[in-house]
Structure 1
Amino acid sequence: MNLTPGRWSRLSEPAKYRAYTRATLLGVVTMVGVLAAANLREHAGVLAVMLTATVSALMAFEARPELTGRDQPRLDTWLTGVATVGFIGSWLAGLVAVRSSTGDAVAFARGGAWFVVVLAAAALLPFMARRWEALAAIALITAIVSGAPDDRLVNVLPPALVAVFCCGTTRASLWALRIVDDLDEARRTQAELEVAEERLRFARDLHDVVGRGFSTIAVKSELASRLVRAGASDRAATEMDEVKALAVSSMEEMRSLVRGYRGIDLTGEVAGARSLLAAAGCDLIVTGRPEDVPERLHEAAAWVVREGTTNIVRHSSATTATLDLGSSGMKLTNNGVTAPVGTQSGLRGLSERLAAVGGVVTTGSADGAFTLDVHWETT
């Protein structure tokens, strides 16, 4: 499990929570095994039982894709099988040790048997379909075979309750992981829906504004064609003049619509970027004001905000983004780089758009952060 600072910063929030949960479970099991080994050095048989159970628990946790995030069914099946055999073997060995021990060794052997039950309840049984029935059966058999301290049945309740608690804790951890994954998926879906709705709005407007004009052009063109074949050249010429007028009118309407879509406002784009990124689980911090950008560059700057925001939603798992606005340029940075960043068509188009107003776009990524840096001539 590689948790170096660079790799950690590139993980999504669900992946970080998964890594934290995995490290916590493995750490607790390891710590318990080490403490048991330190206190049982004089009881080699019980020590071997506990160490086997500890290794089996570690393998059982490592076999769960819910914790590792990997997709290797064959490896997971093999690890689960080995862990199961290890638990069964150490549990039976613990019970045999209890029946064959005498004096003070009986208490240590009994503790070893219950130790196996507790670790199995934490690392193996929570992932079974009938986990609680299996835990009850194992605890009952352990209590009957190993006996109760001081011959009082109530004395077997503490280790049994610890086993129940461990099983419930692992199940609660898996439940929390599922919730985190579901929330992240819902957040991304919401962000994608907002982008899709904007595209749908533009497509609907384009259809409503231009579609009727083009339909009329098609009908009149067909009419003119029939008139020509019928020898009514004058009427055909009149229809074609109307077709030309409609074509020019439709082109103007389309240009007007595109200008309305493209003529974006910098202040509005900054507000829209904050809303869209918030829906994607990313906080946008804005330094500077739209008024700091030269007025003639507002449209180009607005396109930078729109394209940069879209790329953050599509290509990153950012939780924080920073937008710096100034008179000599602007910068958009996010902390969610999950893969090497290549040249994207949107960035190429942005570079061409800014070149027309004397702007230069540079991009770079370092330490899990991606930066879109724009400079323009202010004179």
Structure 2
Amino acid sequence: MSRWTARWRALPAGAKFRLYTGITYQSAIAAVVVAMTVTARSPWAAAGIVLAGIAAVVAVEARADFAVSSELATHRWVLPVAIATLMGVWLACAVVAGQADDESVLVRARMAGVYVAVLGVFSVVSLIRYKWWILLALSVVTGLVFASSPSTAVAGTVVTFLCGAFVIATTWLTVWGLRVVDEVEHAKEIEAELQVAQERLRFARDLHDVVGRGFSAIAVKSELAVALSRAGNIDRATAEMDEVKALAVESMGQMRELVRGYRGIDLLGEVAGARSLLAAVGCALGVEGDPAAVPPRFHEVAAWVVREGTTNIVEHSAATTATLAFGGSGMSLRNDGPRGIPGQHSGLRGLAERLAAVGASLAVTASSDEFVLEILWEKQ
């Protein structure tokens, strides 16, 4: 018992529903067979119904949608054998009805034939294409074969068709439920894949933002140290290389924090770092307003704006002056000497995604003389 319980708990929700549906469907066939056997009133008719019931259960078990175990569904011969058994029992009932001299034997054969036809609809017809046309043909043939008069032919046809129609409708609803569960499971898989993709994009964006500035600063300061060394200013060149070392260590620390998922970013620290980095490339940064005016909700994203904007100035401009302005409803960063086409930098796309996530917007304005990043958010 514990083995079955453990197996059940290990199944995903969709597989549990499919297994439950298969057990319920086959149990319904078994219940119908029991009810038919009780009302058969003849040992040979009851035996035929039981045999047809077993064939019906096997036919359903051969269908992947209703299989309780996957063993029978893997064998192609199982379904044809089950169908042949159902047809054999039905034909046997037809032969008995055709040769019967006693009205009671004819009634039992007719009843058994209708029962077997309904079991065939339950296990085969309701699960294939053109089910309604096949049901109509089966109902007419059953009514004619087991009829003793026009009235009994009509009655047999109507009874078989109505019972079969109820079975087909019930089966259709069951299959529809299985399809809905499959779609829900598929949607969950797609959602999981999208979450993975979004996380990869987030990581790539964070990696660009964190590493980009550090590498830009290292490159700039390394070039400056080389120039100072060639000019004979060894002390200042040494100081610049010490800063390069410190930046490398800081960048490695940021990378570790990023990988662990606990990275932090501070607005005031980014403003100070931007001023230092831009000064190293000969660009004077002026700050207008107070960073404290930025609403707390936007502090982190404002720090990312300063970081990415500073990196863009270093990499994509020959700026000599830049202005960083803060306000309660937004902020901006502008610089002179732009190079390249705005909007093509992956950092700006990542920045726009960050801003959109917190309800802010990014506007980029560029001319031959000036490049402007403007960020707007609602006042808090």
The bucket for the TM-score relative to the shorter chain is 0.5 to 0.7
Residues 64, 76 of structure 1: 8 Å contact kept: no
Q: Does 1:144 align with 2:144?
A: yes
Give me the whole-angstrom Cα distance separating, in 1, the residues matched to 2:163 and 2:170: 10
CA 1:173–1:239: 2 relative to 1, 3 Å:
same
Give me the whole-angstrom Cα distance separating, in 2, the residues matched to 1:12 and 1:120: 32
Give me the whole-angstrom Cα distance separating, in 1, the residues matched to 2:53 and 2:154: 27
The residue that corresponds to 1:352 in the other structure is none
Residues 99, 146 of structure 1: 8 Å contact kept: yes
The residue that corresponds to 2:133 in the other structure is 133
CA 1:210–1:51: 2 relative to 1, 3 Å:
same
Where in structure 2 are the equivalents of 1:18-29 lying within 5 Å?
Answer: 18-29=18-29
1:83, CA displacement in angstroms?
0.7
1:51, CA displacement in angstroms?
2.0
The residue that corresponds to 1:197 in the other structure is 198
Give me the whole-angstrom Cα distance separating, in 2, the residues matched to 1:79 and 1:13: 28
Give me the whole-angstrom Cα distance separating, in 2, the residues matched to 1:177 and 1:246: 58
Given the two structures, how large is their TM-score scaled by the length of structure 1?
A: 0.57
Aligned partner of residue 174 in structure 2, secondary structure? helix
CA 1:118–1:54: 2 relative to 1, 3 Å:
same
1:89, CA displacement in angstroms?
1.0
Give me the whole-angstrom Cα distance separating, in 2, the residues matched to 1:137 and 1:232: 104
CA 1:219–1:203: 2 relative to 1, 3 Å:
same
Given the two structures, how large is their TM-score scaled by the length of structure 2?
A: 0.57
1:204, CA displacement in angstroms?
1.7
Query: Looking at CA atoms only, which structure, 1 or 2, has the larger radius of gyration?
Result: 2
1:178, CA displacement in angstroms?
1.8
The residue that corresponds to 1:187 in the other structure is 188
1:186, CA displacement in angstroms?
2.1
The residue that corresponds to 1:49 in the other structure is 48
Give me the whole-angstrom Cα distance separating, in 1, the residues matched to 2:175 and 2:194: 28
Identity of aligned residues (%): 40
* Amino acid across the alignment from 1:57: A
CA 1:189–1:118: 2 relative to 1, 3 Å:
same
Q: CA RMSD in A?
A: 3.7
Aligned partner of residue 198 in structure 2, secondary structure? helix
CA 1:248–1:34: 2 relative to 1, 3 Å:
closer
Residues 122, 169 of structure 1: 8 Å contact kept: no
CA-to-partner distance for each residue in 1:316-363, whole Å, 9 max, x for gaps?
A: xxxxxxxxxxxxxxxxxxxxxxxxxxxxxxxxxxxxxxxxxxxxxxxx
Give me the whole-angstrom Cα distance separating, in 2, the residues matched to 1:185 and 1:57: 31
The residue that corresponds to 1:62 in the other structure is 61
Q: Does 1:98 align with 2:100?
A: no
CA 1:23–1:8: 2 relative to 1, 3 Å:
same
* Amino acid across the alignment from 1:160: F
Give me the whole-angstrom Cα distance separating, in 2, the residues matched to 1:6 and 1:257: 39
The residue that corresponds to 1:171 in the other structure is 172
Give me the whole-angstrom Cα distance separating, in 2, the residues matched to 1:6 and 1:98: 51
The residue that corresponds to 1:250 in the other structure is 251
Residues 61, 72 of structure 2: 8 Å contact kept: no
Q: Extract unaligned runs of 5+ from structure 1.
A: 264-379
Residues 123, 170 of structure 1: 8 Å contact kept: no
CA 1:258–1:83: 2 relative to 1, 3 Å:
closer
Larger RCO: 1 or 2 (CA < 8 Å, sep 6+): 1
Q: Extract unaligned runs of 5+ from structure 2.
A: 265-380
1:249, CA displacement in angstroms?
4.6
1:63, CA displacement in angstroms?
0.8
Aligned partner of residue 67 in structure 1, secondary structure? coil
Where in structure 2 are the equivalents of 1:204-223 lying within 5 Å?
Answer: 204-217=205-218
Give me the whole-angstrom Cα distance separating, in 1, the residues matched to 2:111 and 2:223: 94
1:160, CA displacement in angstroms?
1.3
Residues 97, 109 of structure 2: 8 Å contact kept: yes
Residues 50, 115 of structure 1: 8 Å contact kept: yes
CA 1:84–1:2: 2 relative to 1, 3 Å:
farther
The residue that corresponds to 2:278 in the other structure is none
1:10, CA displacement in angstroms?
3.6
Give me the whole-angstrom Cα distance separating, in 2, the residues matched to 1:148 and 1:196: 70
Give me the whole-angstrom Cα distance separating, in 2, the residues matched to 1:231 and 1:71: 81
More off after superposition, 176-185 vs 33-42:
33-42
